[in-house]
């Protein structure tokens, strides 16, 4: 939203005052039209237009509360067309008729706006019949008269309903008002978008393993879509939602479309379309570019400029899975270096840079980053300017990321074992049940027992009788999650002598595990005792 005021906060505050006055006047029976209000306050025209547009959306759902004759046509996502469809065998199949019912005010409660994109707006609401929160999505007011966009909107619902995967939000219901304006309902998703989570980092190198696990789930979801012949065409962090419980979902399939596989066949089944759409494959409205390089464009060049593949930015003909592979690479780029492949002053500049396919700058940034080389190579292969040089589809990207994560885990485990075994200290993993679970080689070197002897007996059996009570007290602290720092006790060696150990330990009580490191301080303690003895002898001598 653009304003003529340098202080955006003050501008919004004044806009809210204007809207509050308008609502008060309306309740008093002195309603003012949108045009009259904008004439009176031209400096708030953009904000007022958005308000009336959103109010119009709500009006479309609440008209039946005042006029029960208004009808709503509900169409199941699975039983779609009123006209005959053509099966893959070429025979005409009569599709079931759509169910028509009267809109009942007790069915849905419509609440406030949740979000808006290039073409649609989403409101939250409540399905009173089923007792669940829902989201309503329908076209922005300025696009409702456009038959092409209405077709695309309905196609979004049908494509989304076809993608039966945990990483895709299901569609509950697709419908249209008596004026043929479509809408659909879906679950109200709770969580944060990936772009907000990434923006919350203090630097790009923070929490990379966590975000890679999210990215892996995104790749798996897109891989499923590719397997059924669907490409997303607008992959970006803002279109990835992460729930508080770790569920990752790819959102906004508004630009999704079927593509033809190498065999020349479409996906597993044809996506049904609204009447009149069957002959059109990729007819879009006139070219345009959104005001934000990170926002979706509604035009022949479809997508988000900062995340577009070169061929998508140029408006090339048929796109395939590799356009999404590029989008995944751009998303990975944000995870690794904190920015997409291309940035610029405005969306058109970014689109032009993307169309050029000159990736030298972002490749240099990836090479200079602290990210591991294997990850950098995955990102660079996804971002290759020539589609043939990229991974073939999202399934290959998912496999590469999974292999990296698994190898990274194995490498971390190997490093831990190497440190565990090569350290001069005595490392162990013990249980709150009083048994060692794992010890490094220094235990056997210092005490002379085999690993089997150490692991098969309660460790208190090795502790000097005079130190057992204190050792039990430290174990009690560990069972409550408290750390142990520089605790000393004696362990019996295989020859019957005792070695002094200085312990530092930390526990995970809910798992019953203790991680501990000990240092053999026997020589130090003997030396201290000798010095104390000499000092004591000197003090008690002739004076």
**Whether the Cβ atoms of residue 419 and residue 425 lie closer than 8 Å to each other:** no
pLDDT (average), residues 303-332: 92
C-alpha to C-alpha distance for 221 and 242, rounded to whole angstroms: 13
Token pair, residue 115, equals 């979000």
**Whether the Cβ atoms of residue 488 and residue 501 lie closer than 8 Å to each other:** yes
Predicted local confidence at residue 61, as pLDDT: 54
C-alpha to C-alpha distance for 347 and 329, rounded to whole angstroms: 19
* Residue 124: half-sphere exposure toward Cβ, Cα within 13 Å: 10
Predicted local confidence at residue 86, as pLDDT: 26
The conformation of residue 112, written as its DSSP 8-state character, comes to E
pLDDT (average), residues 283-307: 54
Residue 417 neighbours by CB under 8 Å, 6+ apart: none
Which band of pLDDT confidence, cut at 50, 70 and 90, is reported for residue 541? Answer: low
Residue 161 neighbours by CB under 8 Å, 6+ apart: 77, 78, 170, 171, 174
Residue-wise pLDDT tens digits, 490-509: 999 999 999 999 999 999 88
Going through 140-294 in order, the beta strands assigned E by DSSP cover 173-177, 182-187, 192-193, 230-231, 240-242, 248-250, 257-258
Which band of pLDDT confidence, cut at 50, 70 and 90, is reported for residue 458? Answer: very high
C-alpha to C-alpha distance for 79 and 95, rounded to whole angstroms: 7
Q: Is 413 helix (H, G, I), strand (E, B) or coil?
A: helix
Can you tell me which residue has the tokens 């526990």? Answer: 507
Which band of pLDDT confidence, cut at 50, 70 and 90, is reported for residue 29? Answer: low
Q: Which of 331-340, 412-421, 466-475, 496-505 has the lowest mean pLDDT?
A: 412-421
Which band of pLDDT confidence, cut at 50, 70 and 90, is reported for residue 299? Answer: very low
Q: Which uninterrupted H or E stretch holds 530? A: helix 522-540
**Whether the Cβ atoms of residue 234 and residue 241 lie closer than 8 Å to each other:** no
pLDDT (average), residues 215-238: 95
**DSSP string computed for 38-80:** HHH-GGGHHHHHHHHHHHHHHHHHHHHHH-TT-EEEEE-SSS-
Residue 28, pLDDT > 80, answer no
330: closest CA among 288, 359, 367? 359
**Whether the Cβ atoms of residue 177 and residue 183 lie closer than 8 Å to each other:** yes
The pLDDT mean for the chain works out to 78
C-alpha to C-alpha distance for 333 and 377, rounded to whole angstroms: 11
Residue-wise pLDDT tens digits, 361-413: 999 999 999 898 999 999 999 999 999 999 999 999 999 999 888 876 666 55
Predicted local confidence at residue 31, as pLDDT: 67
CA-based radius of gyration for the chain = 33
Predicted local confidence at residue 300, as pLDDT: 55
Whole-model pTM: value is 0.58
């Amino acid at each position: 939203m653009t304003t003529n005021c340098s202080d955006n906060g003050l501008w919004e505050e004044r806009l809210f005052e204007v809207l509050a006055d308008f609502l008060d006047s309306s309740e008093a029976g002195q309603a003012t039209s949108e045009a009259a209000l904008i004439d009176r306050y031209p400096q708030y025209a953009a904000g007022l237009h958005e308000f009336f547009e959103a109010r119009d959306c709500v009006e479309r759902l609440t008209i039946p509360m005042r006029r029960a004759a208004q009808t709503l046509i509900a169409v199941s996502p699975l039983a779609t067309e009123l006209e005959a469809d053509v099966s893959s065998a070429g025979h005409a199949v009569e599709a079931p008729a759509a169910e028509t019912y009267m809109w009942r005010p007790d069915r849905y409660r419509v609440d406030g706006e949740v979000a808006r994109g290039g073409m649609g707006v989403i409101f939250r609401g409540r399905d009173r019949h089923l007792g669940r929160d829902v989201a309503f999505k329908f076209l922005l007011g300025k696009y409702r008269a456009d038959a092409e966009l209405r077709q695309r909107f309905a196609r979004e619902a049908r494509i989304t309903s076809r993608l039966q995967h945990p990483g895709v939000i299901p569609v509950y219901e697709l419908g249209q008002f008596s004026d043929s304006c479509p809408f659909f309902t879906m679950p109200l998703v709770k969580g944060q978008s990936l772009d907000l989570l990434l923006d919350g980092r203090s630097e790009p190198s923070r929490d990379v393993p966590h975000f890679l696990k999210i990215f892996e789930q995104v790749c798996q979801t897109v891989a499923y879509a590719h397997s059924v012949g669907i490409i997303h065409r607008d992959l970006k962090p803002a279109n990835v939602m992460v729930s508080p419980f770790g569920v990752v979902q790819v959102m906004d399939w508004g630009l999704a479309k079927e593509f033809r596989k190498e065999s020349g066949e479409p996906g597993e089944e044809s996506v049904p379309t609204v009447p009149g759409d069957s002959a059109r494959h990729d007819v879009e409205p006139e070219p345009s570019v959104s005001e934000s390089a990170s926002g979706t464009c509604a035009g022949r060049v479809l997508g988000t400029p900062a995340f577009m593949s070169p061929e998508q930015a140029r408006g090339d003909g048929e796109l395939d899975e590799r356009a999404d592979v590029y989008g995944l690479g751009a998303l990975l780029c944000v995870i690794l270096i904190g920015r997409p492949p291309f940035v610029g002053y405005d969306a058109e500049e970014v689109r032009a840079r993307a169309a050029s396919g000159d990736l030298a700058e972002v490749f240099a940034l990836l090479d200079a980053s602290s990210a591991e080389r294997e990850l950098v190579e995955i990102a660079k292969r996804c971002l290759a300017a020539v589609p043939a040089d990229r991974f073939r589809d999202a399934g290959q990207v998912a496999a590469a990321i999974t292999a990296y994560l698994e190898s990274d885990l194995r490498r971390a485990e190997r490093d831990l074992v190497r440190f565990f075994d090569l350290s001069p200290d005595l490392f162990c993993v013990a249980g709150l049940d009083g048994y060692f679970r794992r010890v490094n080689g220094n235990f056997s070197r210092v005490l002379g027992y085999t690993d089997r002897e150490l692991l098969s007996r309660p460790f208190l059996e090795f502790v000097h009788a005079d130190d057992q009570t204190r050792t039990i007290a430290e174990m009690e602290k560990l069972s409550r999650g408290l750390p142990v720092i520089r605790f000393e006790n004696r362990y019996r060696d295989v020859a019957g002598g005792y070695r002094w150990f200085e312990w530092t330990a930390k526990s995970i009580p809910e798992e019953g595990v203790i991680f501990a490191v000990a240092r053999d301080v026997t020589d130090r303690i003997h030396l201290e005792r000798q010095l104390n003895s000499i000092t004591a002898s000197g003090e008690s001598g002739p004076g």
